[in-house]
Structure 1
Amino acid sequence: MLILDTYLSSFALVAVVAGLVLLVGPLARKSNDWIRVFLLALTAILAWRYMVWRITATVPPLSFDIDAIASWIFLTVEGLALVSSTSAYFILTRRRERHAEADAHLRWWGDDPPQVDLYIATYNEERAVLERTLSGARAIDYPKLRVFVLDDGRRDWLTELCQEYGAEHRTRPDNNHAKAGNINYTLRQRLQDPDPPAFAAVLDADFVPHPNFIRRVLALFHDPGVGLVQTPQHFFNPDPIQHNLGIAQAYPDEQRFFFDHLEPARDGWGIAVCCGTSSMVRIEGVKAIGGFPTESVTEDFLLTIRLDEHGYQTVYLNEPLTEGLAPEGLQEYIVQRGRWCLGMMEIIRNVYNPFGTNRLRLMQRISLLDSLMFWTTTFPFRLVSLLCPLLYWYFGIIVVNASVSDIITYYMPYYIAVLFTLNWISGGLIMPLLNDVSQLLAAWPITRAVWMGLFTPGPHKFRVTAKGGDRTKAVVQWPIMRPFAIIFVLTLLGLLLPLTGDILFSHVSRAGDGIRIIIFWTLYNLAVLAVTMAACIERPRVNRPQRIATEQVILSVDINRFYGWLTDLGVDGARIRGPAGLSIGERGTIELEGVGEVAVRIAETAPDGYILDVLTTPQQYSLLLRKLYTADAAPGTTRGDLAVMMKGWARLFASR
């Protein structure tokens, strides 16, 4: 009874915090800046209340004792991660949306629209990827636009494809400085032409522009102080974590929090950053800084800082104006994030030290520090959190000496506040276990990239993120899964072997009431590791990329006409919910809005209808690409939905 009373009294602050956030949050609009500041400030205060308790009550005095060394190492990593989180809370206290500004200045140029170039950088992307992008580029609604495909792969067949879609194919004699060097080479040539560009938009080869991309972005250049406009990156296919775990319809891609919430917040502070693709730059600003910078493999972030140093601001237009192909393979996903980290470390080590004697504004220094802290603390903390319970089970080392009531009193209020606040801001994007999995998968490569970028001189090799390829077979990524499987087995054995009474594990009684914390920590790590290993099993991707659709169509087979609902649509296949009685192999047509009457073949039956082969003509193929990838809307889901996620998991397990 005494123990129960102790636990109940420990819940007092938890109840107050939970009641406060549940009372304030649902009644407040997301645009209410005062509520945003209040919730983030409350979260930060509770975070540092927890950290003060950790420092003063949960670690032994600093000494050369193994318990003390392990405890202080973990505390240091945790404290630095909390510094990074606090920096993010500070940045999130503001938010700026520029929709009205873009509406008000859509034709600031009057009757003389400026010349705009669109640069599509490519290296080894396959024809289908580039054709999709070129189809979107041809549909752009802007009168003075030239489209250039900058081909570092120097492929002859691409010349013909560019001519077909009204683009210009450019190559160069070498691949120096990768993407930035590729753009600089063509830009230098264009500045000598009779119609040099005043602005240049940049797209990766797998990003498709919407028809209003140029007009909407160009509107924000009405301010002569704007040097670059960045727009969000949306993806028409699920990333590897979404796809492999079967949660694409219930959980957004891993980059949604950054593009939908952190970038608008950074824009509110005047520190929005260029993210490469889906951006447009003022050529006058690029000339002022001597071209696109080449000192880092993430030239986009460096471009932002260099423009800012010369008086040109980067702003953010939070509208879905392009959509691209997320990495489909787990290895490519990890390589991409490792490259981002490496590039950031190169900038800080070689170009712009936030503590150095340069001309950076205070907020740009804070921006650099925020990025530095994110990459150097978040992922090492995730790794260390996996290892700490093992230190106890195998060596009796206790890194957090606390009781359950202490954890409830000091940690739980902070945890509830951060979980609620970030989900209130983002619309349900923060799901603890899934967020841990996305960080854990890339934790070691990113930690290694931090070391390489900060402590090795380079130059470091640029690795292009592979897109496309054969994804029709299930693949187990053993090299990625193996370390997680080893830690999973060690964690499970550490939890189970003491139950045998083996004398080697007699030290488990040392933890006292804290054993409950260690057991919970261990069980949580097992859950994270299990889901991480499941994400390493790459499921086949058929008829990819597909778009979920809810379009009513007429299916004609011979003289019969049936109404049905199109639920999935791709360039060569579709799924229709419709009448029974049709046979595999039968041919017919469906009427697609914006494309016309398209030939189809019944490929297989489904529980609620049929899987169709879509047999387009070349002209229809181009129109279908536009229909699929240039709609004025964001592809995929942008909010988390736990109920839909559970249904998706049920279907996934049933299919296995």
Structure 2
Amino acid sequence: MNFYFNEFEKRKPPQPTPHSLPRELLYQYLATCNIFLGLWYLIWRWGFALNYEAMWFSFPLAFAESCAFIGTILFTFNLWKTKDEPKQNPPKTINECITEPMEDRPLSVDILFPSFDEEPELVELSIKDALKVTYPHEIEIRIFILDDGKRPEMAALAKKMQVEYITRDSNIGYKAGNLRNALEQTYGDFIVICDADTRPFPSILENTLGYFKNPDVAWVQTPQWFFDLPAGERLPLWLKKRLGTPVGWLGSVIERFYGPVTLGRDPFANDPQMFYDIIQRRRNWANASFCCGAGSIHRREAVMEAALRSYSRQISKEHDAVEKQIRKLTKEKQVDSNISLNLRQEIIFDTEFTPYKFHVSEDIYTSLILHSDTERQWRSVQHPQVESKMLSPQDLQSWTVQRFKYSAGSIDIFMNDNPLTKKGMNLKQKLMYGASFWSNLSAIWNIIFLACPIVYFLTSIAPVSAYDTTFYMHFLPFVITAELAMMVGTWGVSGYQGKTNFLSFFPVNLRALWTVLRGRKISFPTTPKNRQKGRFLHLVIPQIAVLLLSLASMLFAWYAYSTQTFGDYSLGGLILNSFWAINNMMAMWGMIAAACWSPPSANMPSQIKVEELNYGIE
């Protein structure tokens, strides 16, 4: 089949950024300076720089700055240092991976491909690559298609590829339920979890099973790499195609001064290198890198043990709650032992045993359960090397569905099973998980940051006591050291597009927060693997509104200042808020451009009609 990504098949994944101790020490110095300067700024901000004549404006901004600063502290802690788990030679037998020796034998590994509605031709590519996985020692590798779609064509594919096929009668628990059903019918010592489009490299087991020589390692997450990201066009060629050769020459002049400029490359900021190579990798030192699903390798013993303990705690919790209600109704001090026993058995009968938590974010939820296991203190490893390739969302609708699912799932866990109050995890782990969940609440203060320059331009009311020298003496050192620390801390990985998308993500993030607060159930939509046909401007109406309001209000304020026809603007306030508004507009423009982006039609033979987006809410 002529897939759009055929032309990208020969692409090579990026190498992990090399660790540099001098750069790490420089980052720690700059980040520490930034934290102290931030505290200095906020103490001054709350104590001396509030505009008491406009507290309706000044207080929300100070609140937003404080919330963002908490995020800065958590992010600094996350990026503090790199401590990769030492790589070990692949084990030869099972006894090298367990504490209590047993009858020795070669390892057994199950490679699982959960599927629901993906094209069989796409899954076939993944199976072909899985069949190429090698290992330097004797090993039993079994490959399974876990078909939740109950499709005859998938069963025929499994037979054709000579791999195992598992299906079930219902779709309870979606992917997590699909995995649980597979665990009941398989026996591998280790489980490789793939998505339907995950194409494992031959080296995935050879390079990762060595970590399991430490019997406390529960899972290893490998970086996800989207090999199909658009390559983009250099500015001179882009201008030449659309405006002719003379304007194309102008693009060459611009690049001579500015450096290479590429347009249309990864319009959705899908490149996960920042997340895996920086954020996840630097959680190794705190044993807090979490599972992200595809490309992860799990120790079966760990998943089952932690699940059994969690299951037991859940039964006991429900049993105690029901007995409490019975005692309250009967006024008895103790429930009859026979009634109590029957009640417990009924609860056990009604409660599902779920090795992988039935949740829209089952991967991070399972990580929480394992990291909080008080009896085993399971460890996780973020492996730095890419060991598989997969497909990225190819349109804004698919991207939005995926981001909504991630955000809502994380917020739901934060609200209903907060890791900060969970027993079994140490403070470092709680802070790392807290950083992930806190970032998903950022839309609350990001809206304030987007609105503030607009309010100032339209009213000339400042959110601070004055845009004077004292303000800049407190504000600029904090902002400059923050940018320097970020640049040094993420050296070698581009982060600008990710930062701007983080800001422009606010409508989806707010929708996710509101969904969780209302107690609405979040469904488990699969991310489409084909590009959805059409433009998606209806998804970026809030971003368009912010861009137009920012631009119009900025022009109005400068006109009013130059003609002295309205308000009481200060030049310093106008300059600062203009930079602020331009940054906001650039962030919004990235998302708007993504809504209009489409690849060359020749490369997109398979397209699907767009249905109205529901963000995966039931």
TM-score by length of 2: 0.74
Matches within 5 A, 1:369-384: 369-377=434-442, 379-384=443-448
The 1:323–1:91 alpha-carbon spacing in structure 2 relative to 1, beyond 3 Å, is: same
1:116 partner SS: strand
Structure 1 window deviating more from structure 2 (234-243 vs 291-300): it is 234-243
Counterparts of 1:331 and 1:242 in 2: how far apart (Å)? 23
The 1:350–1:544 alpha-carbon spacing in structure 2 relative to 1, beyond 3 Å, is: farther
Q: Does 1:326 align with 2:322?
A: no
Counterparts of 1:316 and 1:49 in 2: how far apart (Å)? 35
Alpha-carbon deviation of 1:251? 11
Matches within 5 A, 1:124-523: 124-142=117-135, 143-190=139-186, 196-238=187-229, 246=263, 248=265, 253-288=270-305, 289-290=307-308, 291-310=354-373, 311=376, 312-355=378-421, 358-377=423-442, 379-403=443-467, 405-406=469-470, 408-430=472-494, 432=496, 434-453=497-516, 455-469=517-531, 475-498=534-557, 506-511=565-570, 513-523=572-582
Asked if 2 retains the 8 angstrom alpha-carbon contact of 1:477 and 1:538, the reply is no
2:185 partner SS: helix
| Paired residues, number | 502
Alignment-derived partner of residue 562 in structure 1: none
Counterparts of 1:228 and 1:527 in 2: how far apart (Å)? 39
Superimposed CA distance per residue, residues 82-130 of structure 1 (whole angstroms, 9 cap, x where no aligned partner): 11111110121121223xx334345464783211111111111123321
Alignment-derived partner of residue 550 in structure 1: none
Counterparts of 2:573 and 2:518 in 1: how far apart (Å)? 42
1:457 partner SS: coil
Structure 1 window deviating more from structure 2 (101-110 vs 503-512): it is 503-512
Q: Which amino acid aligns with 1:374?
A: S
**Which of 570, 581, 591 in structure 2 is aligned with 1:532?**
591
The 1:411–1:105 alpha-carbon spacing in structure 2 relative to 1, beyond 3 Å, is: farther
Counterparts of 1:427 and 1:503 in 2: how far apart (Å)? 42
Q: Which amino acid aligns with 1:177?
A: G
Q: Does 1:44 align with 2:35?
A: yes
Q: Which amino acid aligns with 2:47?
A: T
The 1:129–1:121 alpha-carbon spacing in structure 2 relative to 1, beyond 3 Å, is: same
Counterparts of 1:54 and 1:426 in 2: how far apart (Å)? 29
2:386 partner SS: coil
Q: Which amino acid aligns with 1:102?
A: K
Higher strand share: 1
Q: Which amino acid aligns with 1:95?
A: T
1:227 partner SS: strand
Asked if 2 retains the 8 angstrom alpha-carbon contact of 1:71 and 1:400, the reply is yes
Structure 1 window deviating more from structure 2 (72-81 vs 34-43): it is 34-43
TM-score by length of 1: 0.70
**Higher normalized contact order (CA 8 Å, seq sep 6+, divided by chain length):** 2
Alignment-derived partner of residue 4 in structure 2: none
The 1:41–1:272 alpha-carbon spacing in structure 2 relative to 1, beyond 3 Å, is: same
Alpha-carbon deviation of 1:414? 2.7
Counterparts of 1:502 and 1:261 in 2: how far apart (Å)? 45
The 1:76–1:500 alpha-carbon spacing in structure 2 relative to 1, beyond 3 Å, is: closer
Q: Which amino acid aligns with 2:457?
A: W
Asked if 2 retains the 8 angstrom alpha-carbon contact of 1:237 and 1:326, the reply is yes
Q: Which amino acid aligns with 1:440?
A: L
Alpha-carbon deviation of 1:393? 2.7
Superimposed CA distance per residue, residues 576-619 of structure 1 (whole angstroms, 9 cap, x where no aligned partner): xxxxxxxxxxxxxxxxxxxxxxxxxxxxxxxxxxxxxxxxxxxx
Alignment-derived partner of residue 78 in structure 2: 91
Alpha-carbon deviation of 1:500? 5.9
Asked if 2 retains the 8 angstrom alpha-carbon contact of 1:396 and 1:508, the reply is yes
Alpha-carbon deviation of 1:188? 0.9
2:599 partner SS: coil
Counterparts of 2:200 and 2:217 in 1: how far apart (Å)? 21
Asked if 2 retains the 8 angstrom alpha-carbon contact of 1:108 and 1:219, the reply is no
Counterparts of 2:232 and 2:542 in 1: how far apart (Å)? 18
Q: Does 1:78 align with 2:70?
A: no
The 1:250–1:464 alpha-carbon spacing in structure 2 relative to 1, beyond 3 Å, is: closer
Asked if 2 retains the 8 angstrom alpha-carbon contact of 1:116 and 1:145, the reply is yes
Counterparts of 1:518 and 1:35 in 2: how far apart (Å)? 31
Matches within 5 A, 1:599-614: none
Alpha-carbon deviation of 1:501? 5.5
1:274 partner SS: coil
Asked if 1 retains the 8 angstrom alpha-carbon contact of 2:268 and 2:591, the reply is no
Identical aligned residues as a percent: 22
Q: CA RMSD in A?
A: 3.2
Q: Which amino acid aligns with 2:524?
A: F
Alpha-carbon deviation of 1:428? 4.5
Give unmatched runs, 5+ long, in structure 1.
Answer: 1-27, 191-195, 546-569, 572-656
Q: Which amino acid aligns with 1:383?
A: I
Matches within 5 A, 1:595-634: none
Alpha-carbon deviation of 1:198? 1.1
Q: Which amino acid aligns with 1:125?
A: E
Superimposed CA distance per residue, residues 470-524 of structure 1 (whole angstroms, 9 cap, x where no aligned partner): 66xxx43111232222232222222233566699995432446423222332333
Asked if 2 retains the 8 angstrom alpha-carbon contact of 1:140 and 1:213, the reply is yes
Asked if 1 retains the 8 angstrom alpha-carbon contact of 2:398 and 2:532, the reply is no
